[in-house]
A = this chain, B = another copy of it.
């Protein structure tokens, strides 16, 4: 899954456009989000943010994730068991979670996406969003 790193400035630009203030704390979080390629949870983002701005609070991380989610700059995933995990918004894709390591692997299937649309349509619905998560374990190549 190729992912173009969103630029911190892209985020800030979008925030300003929405009349939202760029605070020191938000800059720190945006910096972290823009350069991360994984799916960290709020606490992990908080830990990374503290390294940049020790005064930041977990509340602010949560509030910022909420804000960014609302404007569509990030996506929130509630994988089984754990807390919500975040990633900067990119093209839609789904996830395979390694149930032994917790690793998250991204994938995309146009066929599945299309079948979903057909199923929804046949039931009289339009899909607004969906969630497809595969939980598996690495096949031991014996």
Contact = CB atoms under 8 A, between A and B. Distances in A.
Contact of A127 (B78, B121, B125, B135): B135
B139 A135 contact: no
Contacts of A138: 124-125
Contacts of A131: 80, 131-133, 135
Contacts of A67: none
Contacts of A136: 120, 125-128
Interface residues of A, number: 33
A137 to B, nearest CB: 6
A137 B124 CA distance: 9
Contacts of A135: 127-131
Contact of A109 (B80, B119, B121, B127): B119
Contacts of A89: none
A98 interface: yes
A22 interface: no
A11 to B, nearest CB: 25
A124 B101 CA distance: 14
Contacts of A119: 96, 107, 109, 112, 134
Contacts of A80: 78, 131
Interface of A: 78, 80, 96, 98-99, 105, 107, 109, 111-112, 115-116, 119-121, 123-139, 141
